[in-house]
Amino acid sequence: MKRVVIIGMGFGGIRAARTLAQKGLDVVLVDRNNYHLFQPLLYQVATAGLEQESIAYPVRAMARGWTGTRFQLAEVTGVDFEARQVVTDNGTIPYDYLVIGAGSVTNYFGLKSVEQHAFDLKELVDAERLRNHILTAFERAVVEPDPAKRRALMTFVIVGGGPTGVEFAGALIELVRYVLTKDYPELSVQAARVVLVEAFDRLLAAMPAELQGYTLEKLRGMGVEVLLNARVVDAGPERVTLHDGAVIPAHTLFWSAGVKAAPLAATLGVEQNPGGRIAVEPDLTLPGHPDVYVVGDMAWLEQDGAPLPMVAPVAMQMGIHAGKSILAREQGAPAPPFRYHDKGSMATIGRSAAVASAFGMNLRGYAAWIAWLLLHLYYLIGFRNRIVVMLNWIWYYWFHERQVRLITERETPGNGCTR
């Protein structure tokens, strides 16, 4: 029986596993976490809207229904292509076919001070840590006698005007204005600042201009300070410095300005393209290694003159294609080249407000918001998770209340806003 090893249980790895399950192959799933994480909703955990368990699902719970599939909890440290083995901290795993989908990490573009002091959202622990930090900042502001320091504690700088930055900014300003203002009557919470910094002259660069304009207008109407054509170049525990020398006194810096391939890519001994991504053949195989597929954020594949974006829909389609290609090869059929079908993009801005561009249509406002809700519920794994998330959203819609306002770990000097 041929063995397929799949590294990474992100969007690409899970789709590849589903495609290959119960097809007469020995499928081994490998990840350092024992769950699949729905990363697009991490910001809602960080802003006290969802419990962290509601956006994650155990891999073993999925795999037990897939005949011939098993899971191994391990950290992959490299691949021996000659011996056809995956090297992990628990030993080696031989393979006949290999699917690499280890995802991406945050790209700070060499800004060491920013990397040290900024928060990001790639793991469940990141979201919980950021939620703790946000709520602790308000607790500290209650007892802070210095008005300037109190204002800095209630100032939140978000870098990156893509979907993550826009969605986090919208969720955070709503948390502050509708929820925390009731929790902290002794504070002038309306004076709290949410500052969104974008290096280009527009938000949501991949969307049509009319949706970009709507997003900018909506965020500013909600109270978010949007700074366009601005770059963060330095950061400290209590300040953020922009490219023009302006300093924003702020206790919290959130970075969503870019990603790069996971560190595993650098250990493979192959040429890396911008962002550490690995160039693949049209069928997603690694050049010179037709038994190895690279999918998702790690893969560099140009289509229509530009590299495919590092987004979940690309990873999902790549994972399915890799699985189908392996099945075709086992049947003696040629593997077709991969072609990404762009079904559109969307981003939520706040309660009853979102933007969506799909199938030649541009939606904004309530209709786009409903579409965003339904699509995210559809792609969540686990019936219970869908119900829990839906109930949380309904509760917030009707009562403007975030239920998960929990500080689960106290900050101490040294583990505050320093990563």
Residues 6+ positions from 305 with CB-CB distance below 8 Å: none
Q: Give CA–CA dist 341/328, Å, rounded.
A: 21
Q: Is there a contact between 178 and 170 (Cβ–Cβ < 8 Å)?
A: no
Residues 6+ positions from 75 with CB-CB distance below 8 Å: 32, 88, 89
- For this structure, is 167 an active site residue? yes
Quick one: 58 exposed, middle or buried, by C-beta within 10 A (0-12, 13-18, 19+)? middle
Q: Give CA–CA dist 30/290, Å, rounded.
A: 20
Burial 365-401 (b: 16+ CB within 10 A, else e): eeebbebbbebbeeebbbeebbebbbebbeebeeeee
Q: Which of 128, 167, 174, 198 is catalytic?
A: 167
Q: Give CA–CA dist 190/151, Å, rounded.
A: 11
Counts for the chain of helices (H) and strands (E), in that order: 12, 27
Q: Give CA–CA dist 327/411, Å, rounded.
A: 51
86's enclosing H/E stretch is: strand 85-88
Task: Give me the active site residues, please.
Answer: 167
